[in-house]
Amino acid sequence: MAIRIFWLFNTAIWNVVTMTRILTQMFNYDFVNIFFAILGPFALIYQIKAFYQKMKE
């Protein structure tokens, strides 16, 4: 149970960091920001799916 909470906490931090990068550096089109902007939504969807799978176990 503790591992699941820890994993969810890390997921939440990753999502906040990703969204913050996209929102605060929207107009700074370097490679890293484009990379984060493209992968952010896919990472979120993947994390939600993985979370449900972990909860089912």
Per-residue pLDDT of the chain in tens (57 residues, 90 and over written 9) = 677 777 778 788 888 887 777 777 665 566 666 777 777 778 778 888 888 888 887
Q: How far apart are CA 48 and CA 45, in angstroms?
A: 5
Phi, psi of 36 (to 5 degrees): -65, -40
pLDDT at 16: 80
Q: What is the pLDDT of residue 44?
A: 78
Give the residue carrying structure tokens 């484009």: 34
pLDDT of residue 43: 78
pLDDT at 1: 65
Longest Cα separation, the chain: 42
Q: How far, rounded to the nearest angstrom, does the alpha carbon of residue 53 sit from its chain's CA centroid?
A: 17
Q: Is the pTM of this model over 0.75?
A: no
